[in-house]
Amino acid sequence: MIRLQKFLSEAGVCSRRAAEQLIIEGRVAVNGRRITTLGTKVSPLEDRVTVDGAEVKARRKLYIALYKPRDVVCTRKDPQGRPTVLDFLPPEMQHVYPVGRLDYDSEGLILLTSDGELCNHITHPSSGVDKVYYVEVQGAIKKETISKMLKGIYHEGDFLRASAVKILRTNNTRTCLTITLREGKNREIRRILDSLDQIVLVLRRVQVGSVKLDKLALGKWRLLTKTEIQFLLNA
C-alpha cells in the first residue's frame, strides 16, 4: 500500500505536489469513489485509480546503471540547456530520476530509478552504501597525504573524509588509486585532493554498493539485476 499522491507521481501523471492538489480538488477517484483527503492509500495492483475519469496504470519500476560521460548534468532537465543523463535513455524510460549526483566534469556510474523509496534509501548518509572512484593524480602521492584523506579535513564548513584509499600504481609522474566514500558530499573527492595540493587528472566512479561499472561503455546503460536491486534495498 502506498499513498495515493505517490502512486500518481510514480505513474507519471504529475509531480507529487501537483498530485496532492488534484486530490484536494476532488479530481481523483479510487474504485469509483472520489477522494479528497491526502492520507488515502492504495494498492497499485488491486485498486482502480482514475483522474478526471481516465484510468491511471501503474508503471513498472525501473532500476538503471548508466556510464555518464563528462560534461553531462545529473538532473532531469537543465535550464542552461546542457545534456542530461536522461538524454541517453529511450523515451519510455524518461520517468526515472538520478540517484544522487555525479559532478558535471566527472564521468562514471550513475544509478537512475523510478523507485523513490530506493532513491532516498541510497542517498541517505545512514544507508552505508559505498561509492568507489578510480582516480589519477599528478605525481607521486605521499603516505601522509593518504593518512589525511582517511582522517578527514574541513573545507568550507564541511567535514570531508574518504572511508578507504588504495594505491593501484604510482611513479614520479602519476598515481592511480581508488577512493571510497560513504556519504559523497558535493565534489567531495576533488575538494579533498585540492585541499591537499593534489592535481586530479582522471576521476571516474566505478561502483555504487554492489553495482559495478565493469565493461559498460561510455554513454551506455543497462538494467540492474534482481540481486543488485536487493542488495541496495537491504544496505
Active site residues: 103
Residues in the chain, total: 235
* 215 CB-contact burial (10 Å; exposed 0-12 / middle 13-18 / buried 19+): exposed
User: Hey, what amino acid is at 204?
Assistant: R
Question: 73: which DSSP letter?
Answer: B
Q: Do residues 122 and 209 make contact, with C-beta atoms less than 8 angstroms apart?
A: yes
User: Using DSSP, how many helices (H) and how many strands (E) does the chain show?
Assistant: 6, 17
Sequence-distant (6+) residues with CB within 8 A of 91 are none
**Residue owning grid cell 543523463:** 85
- List of E strands, the chain: 2-3, 28-30, 33-35, 41-42, 49-51, 54-56, 63-68, 97-98, 107-113, 131-138, 153-155, 158-160, 164-170, 174-181, 200-208, 211-212, 221-223
Alpha-carbon gap, residue 8 to 116, rounded angstroms: 12
- As given in the structure block, the three cell numbers for residue 206 are 566505478
- As given in the structure block, the three cell numbers for residue 114 are 523510478
